[in-house]
Structure 1
Amino acid sequence: MTPDHTRREFLQRTGATLLAAPMAARPPREPKPQPVAPVGIARCGPYDVKAVLRELELLADRIGGVRDLVGGKTVAVKVNLVGDVHQATLGKPANRTYQVHPSVVLATAALLDRAGARRIRFVESTHQTTPFREYLRDAGWDLNALTAFRTPVEFEDTRNLGLGKRYHAVKVPWGGSLFPGYEINHAYLNCDAYVSLAKLKNHATAGVTLGMKNNFGVTPIALYGQHEPKEDSTHNRAMFHDGQDRPADGLPQELDPASPRRPTYRVPRHIVDAVGIRPIDLVIIDGVETVSGGEGPWVPGLKVQEPRLLLMGRNPVCTDAVAVAAMGYDPMAAGGTGPFPGDNHLAMAASLGLGSNDPKRIEVVGLPLDQARHPFGWQPSRRWT
């Protein structure tokens, strides 16, 4: 069987349907109106499930409730388990530094259960082949408690097809910032509400990684970790970082193959594309214990931070903007300034009408922003714009 035949068979099996030909770069768009929604902040610490749940319920009430969002519905919750759950750093386990803590996961499940969710599905795109439930146990998750709720709770690794039979083609609503469309795992479409359960921390390339950056992982590495589709891939999505590789023939190709190859150009654009193909209905950010200086221990210079914060909001841009302000940064900073080593993805999302990144326009409920502010102090050592 020839490689071309194998590729065609794979794309037919996975349901790839979007045009693969490169598209011309689009002219700059006019800024669109920026919707706003309240963002809640709570002080919380240490990681006690009852305390976290109490604060999440108060935050949910203060932002207008979540029952209308999740009641009677299937809810997918994308968690941040970037890296390796076994890799400790700075004398602390991964879940107390750069990954979402199991207590916040369990409290989130309880919140959704009490709000009447019909089904809860925790999803993440890992870079390993260990059975997902085993991997979650290694991360400290209490699977017995998570599956004891009235609401059924499921778990799926979305790095490949997972439990699905085919991938699903989705187009970026505004035509795309980097690609016009993508193929994604069924779990991101077979849900009625979608939650980004993120960590409050810096990112070496994007500046910050919060609710929107957590969505980066909705694109499966089986398709986007290398040119040829590979279901057992554990690679990174390098094509979204350096652009040295491209998706397989039959998948949507880059809008402008001549665009810059630098990660600080590409990563922000993929972040906003990812929010376009899988809009975020609710953001919950674990800022109880975390790190500054980067997204994980592979980035040198991390420092322990203990903001003792939880944040929640219905609009991802607004929520991330308030979180950035709580970290002591300006979410409206120009690209290449403040925490952003390159382009500011919050500003890009705001210009597309996905939400406001102006803290002065966003109502903060619960703990006032001035009291919540915990300056991270990190600045990129190099900048590219």
Structure 2
Amino acid sequence: MKQCPFSHSGKRDSVTRREFLHGAAMTAAGLAVAGCAPNAPESSSAQGSSSPAEKGKPVVAIAKADSYDPKLVKKQVQKMLDGIGGVSDVLAHGNRVAIKVNLTGGTNTKPFPGTSEVETYLTHPTVVQALIELLRDAGAKDIFIVEAAYQKESWPAYGYTDVAKATGATIVDLSYADPYKDFTKVPPGTDPMVYESFVFNPILTEIDAFVSVSKMKCHNVAGVTHTMKNLFGNVPCRYYTLSPQDDWSWRSEFHGKASETGERVPKIIVDLNRARPVNLALIDGIMTAEAGEGPWISAFTPVQPGVMFAGKDPVATDAIATVAMGF
């Protein structure tokens, strides 16, 4: 596994605009997508690309933003949605939408000094609020903000209770079966890599569209963590632990034994994305951190790339963000 290109131990601390746009165009044109996302629209041009997308190829939009100013963020998210051909096809099957955010670590984790959690390693609520407002304008009626949070306190602590109130969205904590009587089991389709099925809150099976909004980060095991890795939070921790002491803290069963973690985690990411495919992917890289997924990683240091990504294919969207990080 490569070191994060902008980590302290890496040989490189940046990627030039020329390299970024060239790499993004080449990756989007050549990427083979296998079973983790619906087909990309045929008539869109990628934001930042000088040529229209080839027919049938995934389209990923890129936008700059130097802060989390709400007006700026909404303007740039709108540009990205326009750049991928709008969201009418995302909402084509209905207007019930779930937005998966990343609230890893829980409220017991102390942020890096001088920064907030949502600036450095959690999905920023300003990005999610902008997206909700734009999806409403596009016809979405019932919008749910979802995550298997470590603690219920995470929702108000990280600004999502306020977002829900401001937008009329409903928070559904995937750590619980509520508002249903019980969880359901969902298979990842044929030929699973690790799991025959996953324990899901039924909301994930009843929505018409699923959106993954992640922070752009390196990851100590997976290399990077974007919209596909974000789906680790689709399942309640307590059903995926190796020890009772792990309840409500982390999915130790997903990681398995230390000797198998490096191969096991990527396979489970694939299974999770097959069980609940992502219809729209958005990556927040306005502010983040280098060298790891959270402040529990010793080299974790805040950085400000000032960029966002969006696409209807999470494989392509994550790949473009990975190119931007210098991989």
TM-score, normalising length: structure 2: 0.78
- Which whole-Å CA distance do the structure 1 matches of 2:184 and 2:88 have between them? 28
For residue 114 of structure 2, the aligned residue among 86, 91, 96 is: 91
Matched-pair contact (CA < 8 Å) for 1:90–1:303: no
Matched-pair contact (CA < 8 Å) for 2:180–2:202: yes
Q: Which amino acid aligns with 2:103?
A: L
Query: How far 1:50 sits from its partner (Å)?
Result: 1.1
Query: How far 1:122 sits from its partner (Å)?
Result: 0.2
- Which whole-Å CA distance do the structure 2 matches of 1:63 and 1:182 have between them? 31
Query: How far 1:225 sits from its partner (Å)?
Result: 2.7
Matched-pair contact (CA < 8 Å) for 1:160–1:222: no
1:80 paired with 2:80, answer no
How is 1:233-244 mapped onto 2 (pairs within 5 angstroms)? 233-243=247-257
Matched-pair contact (CA < 8 Å) for 2:238–2:251: no
Structure 2 residues without counterparts, runs of 5 or longer: 1-31, 40-56
1:164 paired with 2:180, answer yes
- Which whole-Å CA distance do the structure 1 matches of 2:188 and 2:243 have between them? 21
Matched-pair contact (CA < 8 Å) for 1:109–1:146: no
Give the percent of matched residue pairs that are identical in Structure 1 and Structure 2: 35
Q: Which amino acid aligns with 2:250?
A: N
Matched-pair contact (CA < 8 Å) for 1:121–1:156: yes
Q: Secondary structure at the match of 2:133?
A: helix
Matched-pair contact (CA < 8 Å) for 1:127–1:234: yes
Q: Which amino acid aligns with 2:294?
A: G
For the pair shown, which has the larger CA radius of gyration, 1 or 2? 1
Aligned length: 273
Query: How far 1:222 sits from its partner (Å)?
Result: 2.8
- Which whole-Å CA distance do the structure 1 matches of 2:242 and 2:203 have between them? 22
1:117 paired with 2:133, answer no
- 1:266-286: per-residue Cα shift (whole Å, max 9, x none)? 111111110010100000100
Matched-pair contact (CA < 8 Å) for 2:106–2:154: no
What RMSD in Å do the two structures reach over aligned CA positions? 2.2
Compare 202-211 and 180-189 and name the one that shifted more. Answer: 180-189
Matched-pair contact (CA < 8 Å) for 1:87–1:93: no
- 1:256-306: per-residue Cα shift (whole Å, max 9, x none)? xxxx95211111111111001010000010000000111101111012111
1:155 paired with 2:174, answer no
- Which whole-Å CA distance do the structure 1 matches of 2:101 and 2:160 have between them? 12
Structure-1 residue corresponding to 2:236: 220
234 and 118 in structure 1: CA distance in 2 versus 1, 3 angstrom threshold: same
Structure-2 residue corresponding to 1:58: 79
Structure-2 residue corresponding to 1:319: 317
Compare 300-309 and 178-187 and name the one that shifted more. Answer: 178-187
Structure-2 residue corresponding to 1:355: none
Q: Secondary structure at the match of 1:100?
A: coil
- Which whole-Å CA distance do the structure 2 matches of 1:214 and 1:265 have between them? 17
Query: How far 1:83 sits from its partner (Å)?
Result: 0.7
Structure-2 residue corresponding to 1:190: 206
For residue 278 of structure 1, the aligned residue among 271, 276, 279 is: 276
- Which whole-Å CA distance do the structure 1 matches of 2:166 and 2:304 have between them? 31
1:207 paired with 2:223, answer yes
For residue 136 of structure 1, the aligned residue among 129, 142, 155 is: 155
Structure-2 residue corresponding to 1:338: none
- 1:224-258: per-residue Cα shift (whole Å, max 9, x none)? 13578x9x941311111025xxxxxxxxxxxxxxx
141 and 227 in structure 1: CA distance in 2 versus 1, 3 angstrom threshold: closer
- Which whole-Å CA distance do the structure 2 matches of 1:102 and 1:69 have between them? 22
Matched-pair contact (CA < 8 Å) for 2:228–2:315: yes
- Which whole-Å CA distance do the structure 1 matches of 2:90 and 2:209 have between them? 7
Q: Which amino acid aligns with 1:64?
A: G
Q: Secondary structure at the match of 2:89?
A: helix
- Which whole-Å CA distance do the structure 1 matches of 2:172 and 2:261 have between them? 28
Q: Which amino acid aligns with 2:313?
A: N
TM-score, normalising length: structure 1: 0.67
Q: Secondary structure at the match of 2:206?
A: coil
Structure-2 residue corresponding to 1:293: 291
Structure-2 residue corresponding to 1:6: none
- Which whole-Å CA distance do the structure 1 matches of 2:161 and 2:275 have between them? 31
Matched-pair contact (CA < 8 Å) for 1:90–1:304: no
